[in-house]
Structure formats: C-alpha cells, structure tokens
Structure 1
Amino acid sequence: MEETKGVVKHLLLAKFKDDVTPEKIEELIKDYANLVNLIPPMKAFHWGTDVSAENLHQGFTHVFESTFESTEGVAEYVAHPAHVEFANRFLSAVEKLVVIDYKPIS
C-alpha cells in the first residue's frame, strides 16, 4: 500500500479559452490563491506562466502548484465546498487542463 502521509504536490496545467479576458484570468488566479486561506489542508500555492524556449507546452500557458501534507489532504481539498465552487468557475474558463498529484522525492 502506498504511503498516504507526507507532502503531496497538486500540479495543474491550464490553457484558458481564447475569449477569456486577462482581467478574468487575473480574477480566477486571485481566487485560486485565496483557497489556501479557506481550506486548511492546502498549505501553499504558487503559479506562473510558460517561459520555456523548448516550445513543448502543447498550448498550456499557466501552471498552478498547491502543496498538501498528505493524500488525504488533497481529497479533503477536492471535496471542500470552496474548492467545488471555484472549480466550477475555473473549468468554465479553460479549454484544456492536466492535473497531476505527486509526492516529491528528494
């Protein structure tokens, strides 16, 4: 059985729809970042945009990384009403996304 305790990173890659304004994207990012204040298992949030010279981004423009203390924390986050409400708004603004949860190995 895989260990469920220990830091888990929740990585989301997104490509926003062409008709979503920069102001709307900024609002969504602000609301995403605020989830760390509303959902206790979410310990940290970072984001950025693609700056790679390799051009392998496959259209994804934004990267969002959240940190949790366990896989149970990720499950609690996913089910939390604040996340559900935010996710519905966020998903309506994205053309495509990828989500990966992983345990960092150092």
Structure 2
Amino acid sequence: MKHILTIVALALLSVTSYAYQPTNEPPVKKMKANVVQHIVLFKFKPETTPEKLKEILAAFEALPSKIKEIKGFQWGTNNSPENHAHGLTHAFILTFDSEKDRDAYLPHPAHKEFGGIVGPWLADVTVVDFTNQGK
C-alpha cells in the first residue's frame, strides 16, 4: 500500500510540475473592457498653505463615499524624474464602469461642491479621460 501511495504522489508531482511552465513575461492584470479612467492633474497656486492642501485632498478623497459611480480612486504627488510635469504636482485617477457613470459624476452635487473647494487654489488643471482599449 505504501508503495502505491508513493507512485501516486510521484505521478501527481510530475503532472503538476509539467503543468507549471514559468515564463520570463511579467503577469498582466487586465482591466475590464470599456472601463473609463478619469485622470486629473493639479498645479496649486503658491499661496496654497499645507493646511489648505490637506483640506482639499481630504475633500477629494471623500468623493467615492458620496458618489456611487466612482469604482476606484487613486492619487499621489508627482515624483517623475523626467521633468515634464509643467508644475503639475498632484495626480488623481478615478475609475468608472462606463462613460455613462463618468457622465453622472461630472454634474453630481458632491463633485460640484468639491470644485468650489479646490477651484480658488488652482493655478492649472489638466483632465484626460480614456476608455480602456487594452487587449
């Protein structure tokens, strides 16, 4: 009996070893087709204090809890060594399941309220949206 179990274990090991073929290609996480990425880049006026900046960031971070169409929210400060930021310091990526959801977000009262909070402190803003075309 012990001999049969050893043979079965070796057979299973050889099958699983054969099935796993490591590659040199990095794993690719695919986004759902038609997902909309809403990219927002801010350049703040020089007079924006650290306290005001903290208030603005907290208000932006609160939007996903107020607007159900926002499915993902990421942000960070520029750390690119390429020197092409044109003074833009903060980047935000909001993810929506569709253009319809993004379009519902734009006039949403919570988004409009946030615009009133951040608007007076902005020296520049860039917004780019794209629908995932990846394969």
* TM-score computed with the length of structure 1 as normaliser: 0.91
| Residue 14 of structure 1: aligned partner | 42
Within 5 Å, give how 1:31-50 maps onto structure 2: 31-50=59-78
Identify which of structures 1 and 2 has the higher relative contact order when contacts are C-alpha pairs closer than 8 Å and 6+ apart. Answer: 1
- Following TM superposition, by how much is the alpha carbon of 1:93 offset from its aligned partner in structure 2, in angstroms? 1.1
Aligned length: 102
1:104 aligns with 2:132: yes
- For residues 115 and 61 of structure 2, what CA distance do their matches in structure 1 show? 12
Residue 87 of structure 1: CA displacement? Answer: 0.9
Alpha-carbon RMSD across the aligned residues, in angstroms, is 1.2
Check if 1:52 corresponds to 2:80: yes
In the TM superposition, residue 82 of structure 1 has moved relative to its aligned partner by 0.7
1:6 partner SS: coil
Unmatched 5+ stretches in structure 2: 1-32
Higher-helix-fraction structure:
2
Q: Residues of 2 paired with 1:15 and 1:38: CA distance?
A: 25
Q: Select 2:102's aligned residue among 48, 71, 74.
A: 74
Q: Letter of the aligned partner of 2:89 in structure 1?
A: T
What is the CA distance between 1:48 and its match in structure 2?
A: 0.6
**Distance in 2 separating the partners of 1:105 and 1:22:** 38
Task: Give the letter for the 1:26 counterpart.
Answer: K
Tell me which protein shows more strand as a share of its residues.
1
Is contact 2:34-2:132 (8 Å) kept?
no
Q: Which AA in structure 2 matches 1:90? A: V
Q: TM-score, normalised by structure 2?
A: 0.72
Q: Give runs of ≥4 in structure 1 deviating > 3 Å.
A: none
* CA drift at 1:6: 2.5
Opposite residue 100 of structure 1, the aligned amino acid is V
Identity %: 37
Distance 1:24 1:48 in 2: 17
Alpha-carbon distance in 2 for matches of 1:54, 1:33: 27
Distance 1:48 1:72 in 2: 26
